[in-house]
């Protein structure tokens, strides 16, 4: 497995591989890898002839400096896991290597970023869009793999690909969960044992909300129900619970056909921000 830190060396290496039957799959991550990331890598390895994974804790997508500083960094273990999963190449630049100068370009994803993650993390999707665009230019993959756990990010990247005309197929992969339902996330490792035991409540709430909607409860009643339930669990600070369209991410007032209803939640538990969603 090749490991690069400089954008130029990655670019030169990948271009030197170019042949008609090279199919490049790309998995962008911020490291501290877990089985959720590895599922994306394995899918890319299955579907492509060469897989690149990037590991970069992108400072410009963090609105909260404390969150950035405490973001887990485990590069050595990450590389061992990637090698075992069949990844061919890792790109792990420093912030200086990625950004010789702080970008002044601003990306605005319109309505897509006025809700949920975009509303609660101002500037977040500008930072995601800029780094993903830059990584796409360096790697030039045929396919890029993203997790459905970050549903709004999938929609933002879909729009980035469309608006900038990247010839890249976006592959959205299902959320991998612990046995108790908690969505795998790098931030989970910051939960104390006590908070870790409470965390599956988030997925339970999503399932209860889905069951109520499917048995005919109104969306307003379900929104109110979930908010009340979180108030009775004061360890959680609920940021948002939304019933939204799974592609536009805009709030909806009726269940959508074709599996396009999304329940999305973000909550803070013991100082750790967790997000999750269910699409049906």
Ligand X SMILES: CC(C)(CO)[C@@H](O)C(=O)[O-]
Binding residues for beta-alanine: 61
- Annotated binding residues for ATP, written as ranges, equal 30-37, 147-150, 176, 184-187
Residue 245 annotated as catalytic: no
Upper half-sphere CA count for residue 213 (Cβ side, 13 Å):
26
10 Å Cβ neighbour count for 269?
22
Residues 219-238 that bind ligand BAL (CB under 6 A): none
In sequence order, which residues have a C-beta less than 8 Å from that of residue 234 and are 6 or more positions away?
none
CB 254 to ligand BAL: min, Å: 29
Q: What is the dihedral of CA 184, 185, 187, 191, to 10 degrees?
A: -10
Cα separations in angstroms, 69 against 64, 153, 163, 235: 9, 22, 32, 23
Given candidates 43, 61, 172, 277, which one binds ligand BAL under the rule CB under 6 A? Answer: 61
Asked if 25 is part of the footprint of ligand X (rule: CB under 6 A), the reply reads no
For residues 11 and 138, is the Cβ–Cβ distance under 8 A? yes
Shorter beta-carbon distance to ligand BAL: residue 31 or 141: 31
Q: Which residue has the tokens 């400096």?
A: 65
Interface pattern 208-247 for ligand X (x via CB under 6 A): ----------------------------------------
- Annotated binding residues for (R)-pantoate, written as ranges, equal 61, 153
37, 124, 233, 245: which is the annotated catalytic residue?
37
Upper half-sphere CA count for residue 212 (Cβ side, 13 Å):
18
Given candidates 24, 26, 28, 43, which one binds ligand X under the rule CB under 6 A? Answer: 28
Cα separations in angstroms, 102 against 42, 48, 58, 127: 33, 33, 12, 11
- Contacting positions for ligand ATP (CB under 6 A): 29-30, 36-37, 39-40, 146-147, 149-150, 173, 175-176, 183-187
- Contacting positions for ligand X (CB under 6 A): 28-30, 58, 61, 128, 131-132, 150, 153
């Amino acid at each position: 497995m090749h490991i690069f830190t400089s954008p130029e060396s990655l670019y030169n290496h990948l271009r030197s591989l170019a042949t008609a039957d090279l199919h490049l799959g790309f998995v962008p991550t911020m490291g501290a890898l877990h089985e959720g990331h590895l599922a994306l890598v394995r899918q890319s390895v299955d579907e492509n002839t060469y897989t690149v994974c990037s590991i970069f804790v992108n400072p410009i997508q963090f609105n909260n400096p404390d969150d950035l500083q405490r973001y887990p960094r485990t590069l050595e273990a990450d590389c061992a896991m990637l090698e075992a999963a069949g990844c061919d190449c890792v790109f792990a630049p420093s912030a200086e290597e990625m950004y010789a100068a702080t970008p002044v370009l601003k990306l605005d994803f319109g309505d897509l970023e006025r809700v949920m993650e975009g509303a609660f993390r101002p500037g977040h999707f500008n930072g995601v869009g800029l780094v993903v665009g830059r990584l796409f230019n360096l790697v030039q993959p045929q396919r890029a793999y993203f997790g459905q756990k970050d549903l709004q990010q999938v929609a933002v990247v879909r729009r980035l690909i469309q608006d900038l005309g990247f010839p890249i197929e976006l592959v959205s992969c299902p959320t991998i969960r612990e046995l108790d339902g908690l969505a795998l996330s790098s931030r989970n490792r910051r939960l104390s044992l006590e908070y870790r035991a409470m965390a599956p409540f988030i997925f339970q709430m999503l399932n209860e909300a889905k069951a109520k909607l499917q048995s005919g409860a109104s969306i307003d009643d379900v929104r109110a129900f979930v908010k009340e339930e979180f108030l009775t669990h004061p360890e959680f600070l609920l940021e948002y619970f939304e019933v939204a369209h799974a592609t536009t991410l805009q709030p909806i007032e009726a269940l959508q056909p074709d599996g396009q209803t999304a329940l999305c939640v973000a909550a803070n538990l013991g100082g750790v921000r967790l997000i999750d969603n269910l699409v049906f």
